[in-house]
Amino acid sequence: MITLSNTLYSQFSTLNSSLVTPATCSARPISGSVLEVAQPDISLVIPIYTGESFLAATLAELDTYFDNAGLDAEIIAVDDGSTDRTPEILSSHPTKRLHVIRFAKNRGKFAAIKAGMSTARGGCRIFTDADLPYDLEAISHMASLLKTDGFHLVVGDRTLAESELEVDQPLLRRLSTRVFSFSVRMLVTGELFDTQVGLKAFRGDVASVLFPLLSDDGFAGDVELLYIALKYNLAIRRIPVRLLRTGPSTVSIAGHSLPMVARIAGLKRRWTSGDYDSDSLRSIASQRYWRSEIDA
């Protein structure tokens, strides 16, 4: 069993006040290059499994939001082996900003998110749930925090006082969430924040090196990525969320929460064995402010 790491908990407690160097969402392309012209402001990844009941409305809502906000964005929809009309709805949606990835069979939420992030080109890269449970205004706010305030990650957190959870969630979903959150606190980092909110944003250069390190394909991927981010002392900003709607949960205590806890219990072992080693993340997170000695 993983015990509470005082060092890691200390990192989390001071993240929002940590010294960070302001930076753009990603490394700036060479002026006039093809990359500079092609790179969108935002890449939004949405994993989808059997989404025919809401998918058309989701795509229309996203188009309206990005058009009205004046944001250059790409939407990467990853069909995780849907067996309903999801593929037809995606193929018939008339917008150039939509890119579709399809799995032949269901592989898991984070398998879909990782696939989407692997093709994302945006300076800021965000993933959210396909039924858009949270207020879309958060997208531009998250992008701004990444671009102008020097944060590496921005994550939604339902436990913050300003969060508005106006929609009642089913009892089983609330119970599943509490069991999982308690397990995370016991196994990983003590008072770790709300890990399972389906709304997280990443600076482009961070996403490019963080997501390939992830081993989990299911719902434990959220905890894994935050664990790695905390271990590298990445700058994380938590923001309140506005829950506008909630759909039927695909997570069950027996079928998902308990196996997720078992996978989370192996995070420390994978860290100590070097599975998460990354010189790139080490460089991105570096806050060495003293001058290195230079040999004469």
CATH number at residue 61: 3.90.550.10
68 domain-assigned: yes
The predicted structure's pLDDT at residue 181 = 55
Contact 270, 215 (CB under 8 A): yes
Exposed, middle or buried by CB within 10 Å (0-12, 13-18, 19+), for 169?
Answer: middle
Does residue 142 belong to any structural domain of this protein?
yes
Find the domain containing 113 and state its range: 8-13+31-273
Q: Which residues contact 163 (CB under 8 A, 6 or more apart)?
A: 157, 240, 241, 242, 243
Residue 240 placed within a domain = yes
Q: How many domains does the chain have?
A: 1
The residue type of 155 is V
Residue 244 resides in a domain: yes
Buried b (16+ CB within 10 A) or exposed e, 232-271: bbbbbbbbbbbbeeeeeeebeeeebbeebbebbebbbebb
- Answer yes or no: is 3 within a domain: no
Strand partners, 155: 200, 238
pTM: 0.79
| Maximum Cα–Cα distance across the chain | 69
Q: Which pLDDT belongs to residue 31?
A: 39
Q: Is residue 147 part of a domain?
A: yes
Question: pLDDT tens-digit profile of 22-57?
Answer: 344 644 443 343 444 468 999 999 999 999 999 999
**In 54-136, alpha helices (H):** 55-69, 86-92, 109-119
Predicted pLDDT of residue 293: 57
pLDDT at 89: 98
On whether the CB atoms of residues 107 and 80 are closer than 8 A, the answer is yes
Residue 83 has a CB neighbour count (10 Å cut-off) of 11
pLDDT tens digits, one per residue of 98-124:
999 999 999 999 999 999 999 999 999
- CB within 8 Å of 174: residues ≥ 6 apart: none
Q: Is 23 a member of any domain? A: no
Per-residue pLDDT of the chain (296 residues; tens, 9 = 90+): 333 343 333 443 333 333 333 344 644 443 343 444 468 999 999 999 999 999 999 999 999 999 999 999 999 999 999 999 999 999 999 889 999 999 999 999 999 999 999 999 999 999 999 999 999 999 999 999 999 999 999 999 988 889 887 665 555 555 555 555 555 554 555 445 688 899 999 999 999 999 999 999 998 899 999 999 999 999 999 999 999 987 655 555 455 566 777 788 889 899 999 999 999 999 999 988 886 655 44
